[in-house]
């Protein structure tokens, strides 16, 4: 088959596997991103996420991850829910964590994807990634024409906003490449900056990860959340959607069609009292397939205590 037919086949296969968008970019070193990443690390914006400083060369060069890499295929999967949290709910959880763990859902789809490519095209070297390796997903998404990186650091798609998971498939297959998305439609809007509860969004599209609520409630492994953050979490117990919720482009968000992302009933229905009384056994059973297990039971308990009158 020709390169054009290979490309069409791959995009058709991506759609059949439930991905909402598929873009393809040439696999080249990301020199500009390397400089920005280095500045970000030097600014200590990664806090205790020391893994962000590891494997620097792999992050900026796809050929280090997949020898002979020629193409980077970027896939977007919508996770915007059809339902919203009940008014007045005291405990808030980021929408991406309402259903099953997206890592497992998307990783399975990527395996099927790569198997299908090899079946229809032939022996192809490739690896799929979904937050599982040092890949600059948003940069590749922008390079493959899927959107621009907003002031809040999220990829924004002009048609459907930013509530997407990003997956990457790096392969040695030569394909037709999409044009990069070189326009920035954020304009003079600063809603995400103005509404960030912890002032983690800095000028120049720089995110101070060490100030982000998602960092404190998920990434931080300390037994205590710093006292200086008391009263600033706006009831977010796991992650934070504020910068996305206020983004004007997300008025175009459409409900996802992925059954695995159907909200776990407890996510929407548990009261603060329910969360406080949750046992480790109940947590393990209820959230066995949920992203919440990433923080583990003690981490969730810590976050709940912190929100409840600022005590830990």
DSSP assignment of 150-175 equals -TTS-EEBTTTBT-EEEEEEEES---
Residues making up the chain, counted from first to last: 312
Under a CB-based contact definition with an 8 Å cutoff, are residues 64 and 170 in contact? no
Beta strands (DSSP E) in the chain are 21-26, 71-78, 92-93, 126-129, 148-149, 155-156, 164-171, 201-202, 206-207, 236-238
Annotated catalytic residues are 131
Residues 41, 63: Cα–Cα separation, whole Å: 22
* Angle in degrees, CA 288, 293, 298, rounded to 5: 120
DSSP 251: G
Residues 240, 230: Cα–Cα separation, whole Å: 15
Burial class (CB in 10 A: 0-12, 13-18, 19+), 25: buried
């Amino acid at each position: 088959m020709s390169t054009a037919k290979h490309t069409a086949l791959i995009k058709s296969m991506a759609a059949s596997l439930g991905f909402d968008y598929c873009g393809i970019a040439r696999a080249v070193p990301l020199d500009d991103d390397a400089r920005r990443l280095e500045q970000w690390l030097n600014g200590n914006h990664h806090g205790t996420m020391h893994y962000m400083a590891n494997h620097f060369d792999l992050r900026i060069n796809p050929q280090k991850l997949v020898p002979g890499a020629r193409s980077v295929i970027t896939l977007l999967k919508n996770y915007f829910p059809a339902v919203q949290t009940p008014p007045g709910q005291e405990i808030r959880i980021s929408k991406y964590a309402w259903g099953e763990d997206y890592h497992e859902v998307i990783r399975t789809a990527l395996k099927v994807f790569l198997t299908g490519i090899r079946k229809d095209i032939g022996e192809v070297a490739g690896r799929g990634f979904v937050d599982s390796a040092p890949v600059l997903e948003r940069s590749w998404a922008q390079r493959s024409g899927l959107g621009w990186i907003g002031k809040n650091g999220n990829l924004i798609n002009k048609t459907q906003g930013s509530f997407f998971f990003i997956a990457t498939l790096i392969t040695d297959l030569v394909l037709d490449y999409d044009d990069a998305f070189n326009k920035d439609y954020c304009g003079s809007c600063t809603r995400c900056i103005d509404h960030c509860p912890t002032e983690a969004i800095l000028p120049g599209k720089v995110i101070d990860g060490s100030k982000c609520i998602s960092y404190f409630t998920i990434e931080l492994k300390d037994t205590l959340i710093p006292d200086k953050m008391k009263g600033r979490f706006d009831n977010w117990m796991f992650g934070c959607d504020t910068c996305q919720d206020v983004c004007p482009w997300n008025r175009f968000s459409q409900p996802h069609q992925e059954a695995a992302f159907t909200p776990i009933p407890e996510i929407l229905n548990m009261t603060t009292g329910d969360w406080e009384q949750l046992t480790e056994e109940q947590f393990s059973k209820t959230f066995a397939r949920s992203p919440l297990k990433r923080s583990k039971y003690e981490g969730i308990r810590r976050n709940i205590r912190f929100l409840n009158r600022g005590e830990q």
